[in-house]
Amino acid sequence: MNFTQQEMGPGVRLYLCPTDKFKTLTCKVFIQQDLQPREAAQTALVPLLLRRGSQRFPTTGDIARELEDLYAADFGSDVLKIGERQILEFHFQMVDPQFLPQGQKLLRRSLETFWEIASRPYGEGGFFEPYFQQERHNLVQELEGLINDKRTYALVRCTALMCAQEPFGIYKYGDADTVRSLTAGEVYAHYQKLLAGYPLDIFVVGSQAKKAAEILAGLIQGRDGQQKLQPPQRVEVEQPRYFEENMDVQQAVLVMGYRTKLTYPDGDYYSLLVGNGLLGGFAHSKLFINVREKASLAYYVSSSLEGSKGLLTITAGISGEQKEQAVEIIQRQVRDVQEGRISAQELEQTKRGLISSMRSMQDNPSSLVDRNLIGIVHEELRSIEEVVEAIEAVTLDSVVRAMGHLQLDTTYILRPSPQKGAGHGTD
Amino acid sequence: MEQIKLPGGETLFQERLANGLQVMVLPKRQFLRTFGILSVHYGSLDSKFELPGRGAVEVPPGIAHFLEHKLFEEEEGSVFDRFAAWGASVNAFTSYNQTSYFFTTIDHWRESLAYLLEFVHTPHLTEENVEKERGIIEQELRMYADYPEHRIVATLLENLYHENPVRLDIGGTVESVRSITLAELQLCYDTFYQPGNMALVVVGDVEPQAVLELVRSSCPAGGNGQAVLRVDPAEPSGIVKPWAETQLPISRPRYMLGFKHDPLWRGQELLRMQIAMTLGLRLLSGRSSQAYAQLYGEGLVDDSFSASFRGHPRFAHSLISSETDDPQALHGRLVQIIDGLKAGGVEEGEVERLKKGFYGLFLGALDSFEYTANRLTAQYFEGTPYYSYLEVLAEVTARDVQSALAEMLDWERSSVSILRPVQSHG
């Protein structure tokens, strides 16, 4: 279940996976650009504006009625951050035409609808101003609403503090102040530039992938595709930093950010991936066993790897009073992995676990596509077989070597205000 | 094994074993994963039950969930480790009416399935490991307490229900979790973890007969043979409180409106009501509805606007919610819009188009092992015939939707829960 790749025009690459395994046809389009403060905010508004209406379907209701009529076809658009790239995504999924009455006709109509919504927003020579005003307000609300999910908020805050001087510190949707200052004209101009000039990757999965790609090729026209992009910045840690924030919450969220030095293009990358798995990727990992099962300090504790920028982040939900103890146990687990105190069983379990989740992606069209995002950013796609082979080749020594580069940069904790008890509501 | 054709061309195989365990297998050709889920018909609603010779017993809230945590501990170590050795993963969840344990594996389905059956059937409860679990569960409850979406529902259900345990958190409270004893955990385990009160679903590229044989040989021969006698407290028809406001450190207010219904439907009728109400609520909150266009245009709701119907044999309610700058104004507009729908605002063309969408959603969902297995389990425990979904969908008319809305959305039995931001002190 791999993709065949072909160039489809200036800066456009097409990846096809014809298969009759699924009951759906899935298309995803990714347009990438360098992560920059103003552009991040501009791009973040695009998905919100697209769902308001297009030339042929001028309102949200018109779009929704058309999609329902196509047997609940799904159009979606979002913004992602991979390393120091911001990615504008359009995706489309429909029931495989073979299960629908007049499937062939519906396939063409559906894809035309897809590209209509993605590329022809409602308005005359720009976004419709009332839609723009409202969606700009909604995006500000969404950014200010980050605080509603304490775990996500803590992660975003830690990243922003740690990478304050680097593009990676920018949140994927930009920041509220920048969004407030945006004009419809500049957002539209930026959106047009993205459509015409930035690298664009299309993935199609389904029994009619070839046919779908032909139709899409006819729809995606008029590109110059000349835009060149930058690689991510590398930074040395000078002195570990500590930040604390108080809020009226029931539980503290602890986030520890490490620099990995190694990233996707490096030889030892898969040893780092296994190292992260040993540390906190699974329920058999050191963090889960020691912080949760042995010390009963947390319900959730895990680590995750951002392989494009090179960051390893540990997150735990703990009691505010137990911070010192939690940090100490966590740091001991990191040292244990770095110094090779890893049993043969742990190493084997972690490799098996990573290989299983890699192979499992072939059972879901969306994961099958999304696993390639880091590959398109680094212009090196790797097949599932290649990755499985690379994980198989990881040894205790290579894990120790890879994890040896890890350096703690920033510790952040969001915790209950000391002078007040846990927050209780009032009726 | 009994064979049942599913829409989309697949076949479900099922059989009830002599010990009472229901086994369902859905073969999925070409797929690499195998998903197995063993469910106990026992959840947070079941804190009161009758025991032969002892009469009615009531235990503290949170036991079903506590047991779910504890079953992962075995004498020879952690259950997670065993699955990890096969590259498999294992997890569990507890809901109002069931506790489910599930694994996902690529190439060790036999070992995984045998061990799933084994660890669920061999509890290892000690004073020490029960004590240790309290801290972990306390952090889990505190995590949920910080989720606004969790708090708003919890408050609303407390407003709607006097006695029905659906009003309580599935995990109980920090205090109830501290009070739960080893003896109570053991009693509930012995009462509910009986093969006759359980169902297994396996989805993947497997041979149904091979699954059945493996289950037969690794399952205990028989349970205690006693039927579970649940005691559901009588729930008054009225609500507790029409309105409640809570302050939390959030960015803007959230509004939720709930309607309490009488859970009278069974089997096909329950499925029909689920479909009719889900269609009806789409006319209110669906992106294609006029109501959504109006409320969004007026700036009273945002993309978080949603409405859902939960219909179950032991409770039923509808919930409608959104983030909003002005909860009062939104409430006023919803009263107008809902009364309009109830008074004859359901149009046939709208319902037929929504039904087309539901048809597509149903087919697409067949690719999700987890979703399909959950529907099959619910079908068995709750008696909603999943495999006749498309037939029932085809039968539901605009008039059914109209009368369901008119009957269910009864203002006398409604309540509002609002969350408001507090200034955080930092």
Query: Which pLDDT does position A225 carry in this prediction?
Result: 76
Nearest-by-Cβ selection for B142 from A245, A251, A427:
A251
Query: Which pLDDT does position A186 carry in this prediction?
Result: 98
The residue assigned the tokens 């939707």 is: B401
The full DSSP string for B365-421 is HTT-HHHHHHHHHHHHHH---GGGHHHHHHH--HHHHHHHHHHH--GGGEEEEEEEE
Distance CA B418, CA B245 (A): 5
Binary contact (B367, A22; C-beta < 8 A)? yes
Q: Classify residue B136: in a domain, yes or no.
A: yes
Half-sphere exposure of B397 (CA within 13 A, CB side): 3
Nearest-by-Cβ selection for B143 from A100, A317, A352:
A317
Nearest-by-Cβ selection for A247 from B137, B356, B426:
B426
Which one of A51, A248, A286, A412 makes the best mutation probe of the B interface by having the most chain B beta carbons within 10 Å?
A248
Binary contact (A296, B133; C-beta < 8 A)? yes
Q: Nearest-CA residue of chain B relative to A69?
A: B353
Query: Which pLDDT does position A423 carry in this prediction?
Result: 39
**What's B335's domain CATH number?**
3.30.830.10
Which one of B101, B107, B142 makes the best mutation probe of the A interface by having the most chain A beta carbons within 10 Å?
B142
pLDDT digits (tens, 9 = 90+) for B184-236: 999 999 999 999 999 999 999 999 999 999 999 988 777 777 788 999 999 99
Distance CA B218, CA B111 (A): 11
Question: Quick one: what percent of chain B has pLDDT higher than 90?
Answer: 89
Using the 3D structure, point to which of B170, B205, B230 is the last residue of a domain. Answer: B230
Indicate if B176 and B262 belong to the same structural domain. no
Q: B312 or A8: which carries more pLDDT confidence?
A: B312
Q: Is the pLDDT of residue B88 over 70?
A: yes
Distance CA B109, CA B209 (A): 14
Indicate if B201 and B334 belong to the same structural domain. no
Radius of gyration (C-alpha) of chain A in whole angstroms: 23
Structural domain harbouring B18: 2-230
Asked if B146 reaches chain A (Cβ–Cβ under 8 Å), the answer is: yes
Here the tokens at position B52 are 């032969």
Asked if A128 reaches chain B (Cβ–Cβ under 8 Å), the answer is: no
Number of Cβ within a 10 Å radius of residue B207: 11
Nearest-by-Cβ selection for A69 from B88, B106, B356:
B356
The distance of Cα B163 from the centroid of its chain, to the nearest Å, equals 19
Name the pairing type of β-strands A298-306 and A311-318: antiparallel
Q: Nearest-CA residue of chain B relative to A144?
A: B251
Say how many residues make up chain B: 426
Query: What's A101's DSSP letter?
Result: T
Here the tokens at position B59 are 């235990």
| E strand residue ranges, B6-154 | 11-16, 22-27, 34-40, 48-51, 55-58, 73-74, 77-78, 89-94, 99-105
Asked if B88 reaches chain A (Cβ–Cβ under 8 Å), the answer is: yes
Indicate if B256 and B302 belong to the same structural domain. yes
Binary contact (B136, A299; C-beta < 8 A)? yes
Here the tokens at position B343 are 């008074």
Nearest-by-Cβ selection for A250 from B145, B155, B360:
B145
Q: Classify residue B238: in a domain, yes or no.
A: no
Q: Domain tally for chain B?
A: 2
Which one of B91, B93, B146, B368 makes the best mutation probe of the A interface by having the most chain A beta carbons within 10 Å?
B146
Q: Is the pLDDT of residue A143 over 50?
A: yes
Binary contact (A356, B288; C-beta < 8 A)? no
Query: What are the percentages of helix, strand and coil residues in chain A, rounded to 5?
Result: 45, 20, 30
- Catalytic positions of B, please? 68
pLDDT digits (tens, 9 = 90+) for B164-187: 999 999 999 999 999 999 999 999
Banded pLDDT at A221 (limits 50, 70, 90): confident
Which one of A299, A345, A355 makes the best mutation probe of the B interface by having the most chain B beta carbons within 10 Å?
A299
Asked if A325 reaches chain B (Cβ–Cβ under 8 Å), the answer is: no
The nearest CA of chain A is from the CA of B54 a distance in Å of 36
Binary contact (B89, A293; C-beta < 8 A)? no
Q: Classify residue B426: in a domain, yes or no.
A: no
Nearest to B85 by CA among B113, B100, B68, B105: B105
Q: Average pLDDT in the B36-41 region?
A: 98
Half-sphere exposure of A118 (CA within 13 A, CB side): 27
Indicate if B200 and B256 belong to the same structural domain. no
Q: Average pLDDT in the B33-58 region?
A: 95
Query: Which pLDDT does position A286 carry in this prediction?
Result: 97
pLDDT digits (tens, 9 = 90+) for A320-371: 999 999 999 999 999 999 999 999 999 999 999 999 999 999 999 999 999 9
Banded pLDDT at A421 (limits 50, 70, 90): very low
Tell me which chain B residues have a C-beta less than 8 angstroms from the C-beta of A61: 287-290, 292-293
Banded pLDDT at B77 (limits 50, 70, 90): confident
| Residues of chain B numbered 45-74 and touching chain A (CB < 8 Å) | none
Query: Which pLDDT does position B304 carry in this prediction?
Result: 95
Binary contact (B251, A59; C-beta < 8 A)? no
Question: What dihedral do alpha carbons A37, A40, A42, A45 form, nearest 10°?
Answer: -140
Indicate if B411 and B267 belong to the same structural domain. yes
pLDDT digits (tens, 9 = 90+) for B297-310: 999 999 999 999 99
Tell me which chain A residues have a C-beta less than 8 angstroms from the C-beta of B390: none
Q: Nearest-CA residue of chain A relative to B148?
A: A148
Asked if A98 reaches chain B (Cβ–Cβ under 8 Å), the answer is: no
Q: Which residues contact B141 (CB under 8 A, 6 or more apart)?
A: B169, B171, B172, B173, B174, B177
Using the 3D structure, point to which of B202, B230, B258 is the last residue of a domain. Answer: B230
Reported ipTM: the value is: 0.90
Task: Tell me the β-bridge partners of A62.
Answer: none
Binary contact (B367, A93; C-beta < 8 A)? no
Query: Which pLDDT does position B223 carry in this prediction?
Result: 73
Query: Which pLDDT does position B384 carry in this prediction?
Result: 86
Using the 3D structure, point to which of B230, B251, B274 is the last residue of a domain. Answer: B230
Write down all domains in chain A, each with its CATH number in brackets: 4-219 (3.30.830.10), 241-416 (3.30.830.10)
Amino acid at A279: L
Indicate if B200 and B251 belong to the same structural domain. no
Q: Is the pLDDT of residue A122 over 50?
A: yes
Number of Cβ within a 10 Å radius of residue B221: 9
Binary contact (A138, B302; C-beta < 8 A)? yes
Here the tokens at position A266 are 């490096």
Query: Which pLDDT does position A258 carry in this prediction?
Result: 98
Indicate if B213 and B274 belong to the same structural domain. no
The nearest CA of chain B is from the CA of A274 a distance in Å of 13
Distance CA B202, CA B13 (A): 10
Here the tokens at position A37 are 């403060």
pTM for the full predicted model: 0.93
Asked if A2 reaches chain B (Cβ–Cβ under 8 Å), the answer is: no
Distance CA A242, CA A235 (A): 18
Nearest-by-Cβ selection for A148 from B136, B148, B299:
B148
Mean pLDDT (chain B) is 94
Query: Which pLDDT does position A103 carry in this prediction?
Result: 84
Task: Tell me the β-bridge partners of A4.
Answer: A16
Query: Which pLDDT does position B423 carry in this prediction?
Result: 66
Tell me which chain B residues have a C-beta less than 8 angstroms from the C-beta of A19: 30
Indicate if B34 and B99 belong to the same structural domain. yes
Q: Nearest-CA residue of chain B relative to A64?
A: B288
Interface size between A and B, measured as CB pairs under 8 A: 205
B268 CB burial (10 A radius; 0-12, 13-18, 19+): middle
**What are the two backbone dihedrals, phi and then psi, of residue B284, each rounded to the nearest 5 degrees?**
-100, -50
The residue assigned the tokens 């093969």 is: B195
Q: Classify residue B153: in a domain, yes or no.
A: yes
Mean pLDDT (chain A) is 94
Contacts 24+ apart (CB under 8 A), A180-187: A180/A136, A180/A140, A182/A41, A182/A42, A182/A45, A182/A136, A184/A126, A184/A127, A184/A129, A184/A132, A185/A126, A186/A42, A187/A42, A187/A45, A187/A46, A187/A49, A187/A127, A187/A132
Is the Cα torsion angle B123, B128, B134, B139 positive or negative in sign?
Answer: negative
Q: Classify residue B236: in a domain, yes or no.
A: no
The distance of Cα A195 from the centroid of its chain, to the nearest Å, equals 20
Q: Is the pLDDT of residue A83 over 60?
A: yes
Asked if B420 reaches chain A (Cβ–Cβ under 8 Å), the answer is: no
Q: Average pLDDT in the B71-95 region?
A: 92
Nearest-by-Cβ selection for B139 from A319, A350, A353:
A319
Indicate if B71 and B137 belong to the same structural domain. yes
Nearest to A58 by CA among B185, B170, B365, B297: B297
pLDDT digits (tens, 9 = 90+) for A253-312: 999 999 999 999 999 999 999 999 999 999 999 999 999 999 999 999 999 999 999 999
Q: Classify residue B398: in a domain, yes or no.
A: yes
Pick from A99-103, A412-416, B116-120: least confident: A99-103
Q: Average pLDDT in the B66-83 region?
A: 91
Annotate A124-141 with b (16+ C-beta within 10 A) or e (fewer): eebbbeebbebbbebbbb
Q: Classify residue B235: in a domain, yes or no.
A: no
Query: What's A54's DSSP letter?
Result: B
Query: Which pLDDT does position A426 carry in this prediction?
Result: 35
Q: Is the pLDDT of residue A80 over 80?
A: yes
Indicate if B187 and B249 belong to the same structural domain. no
Query: Which pLDDT does position B426 carry in this prediction?
Result: 41
Q: Is the pLDDT of residue B144 over 60?
A: yes
Nearest to B322 by CA among B341, B294, B296: B296
Indicate if B301 and B183 belong to the same structural domain. no
Indicate if B219 and B260 belong to the same structural domain. no
Distance CA B355, CA B338 (A): 21
Q: Classify residue B144: in a domain, yes or no.
A: yes
Query: Which pLDDT does position B218 carry in this prediction?
Result: 86
Which one of A144, A148, A388 makes the best mutation probe of the B interface by having the most chain B beta carbons within 10 Å?
A148
Banded pLDDT at A419 (limits 50, 70, 90): low
Binary contact (B87, A355; C-beta < 8 A)? yes
| Residues of chain A numbered 333-362 and touching chain B (CB < 8 Å) | 345, 348-350, 352-353, 355-357, 359-360, 362
The full DSSP string for A375-406 is HHHTT----HHHHHHHHHT--HHHHHHHHTT-
Distance CA A333, CA A12 (A): 44
| Residues of chain B numbered 97-126 and touching chain A (CB < 8 Å) | 104-106
